[in-house]
Amino acid sequence: MLINKAYKFRLYPSKEQETLIAKTIGCSRFVFNRFLGQWNDTYQETGKGLTYSSCSAELTQLKKEFVWLKEVDSIALQSSLKNLADSFTRFFKKQNKAPRFKSKKNPVQSYTTKVTNSNIAIVDNKIKLPKLGYVRLAKSREVEGRILSATVRRNPSGKFFVSIVVKTDVQPLKKTESSIGIDLGIKDFAVFSDGHKMDNHTFTAKMEKKLRREQRKLSRRALNAKNNG
């Protein structure tokens, strides 16, 4: 069974890459807000919105007017436009509220890019991203599956992260037609309704160490009290 699965890693871009990430985030926000304004005006005048195709064609012309849009990943700009179109589609279906303008003051800033001609790939402890090239990342586990997209985020503390979405094949577990109750605790990590217990080894080890330390303190105090009468 094919499913989409996400991986999240910490990124360590160079100063030049940080600058380009900031530019890409800014340009993606500009495109989103620009077409959101046009979409709102059209909706107020006609009761209907625009289309992704018409906006995409206009974006090509927009790059001639604002040449700095060519400095960043073009797929990220298209993704920003596609997110806007999808938001309006859900709005017209009454699945969510109307999209709002994006602010550069939002605590988390991001942009999304998608795979085209192997432009996103993981090689050793680096990830290849459009325009950025190879960016160092803290790969805590192997990425399994075909990469679909990558979202680069910058949090309020200035740290960078990348979320990678892949298409992967998983084998569903066989249904046992049985059920069991689970009670989470402190001494025991979990107690099952069939009587089986799962020990919280980390907690138990810490508490045993602390218990031995407190018992030694108690023994010393008892000895001192005895010696002092």
Pair of tokens at residue 5: 């699965």
Please give the chain's pLDDT, 229 residues, in tens: 889 999 999 999 999 999 999 999 999 999 999 999 999 999 888 888 889 999 999 999 999 999 999 999 999 999 999 999 999 999 888 898 989 999 999 999 999 999 998 899 999 999 999 999 999 999 989 999 999 999 999 999 999 999 999 999 888 888 888 888 888 877 777 888 888 887 776 666 677 788 888 999 999 999 988 888 7
Write down the pTM of the prediction: 0.74
DSSP 181-222: -EEE-SSEEEEETTS-EEE-HHHHHHHHHHHHHHHHHHHHHH
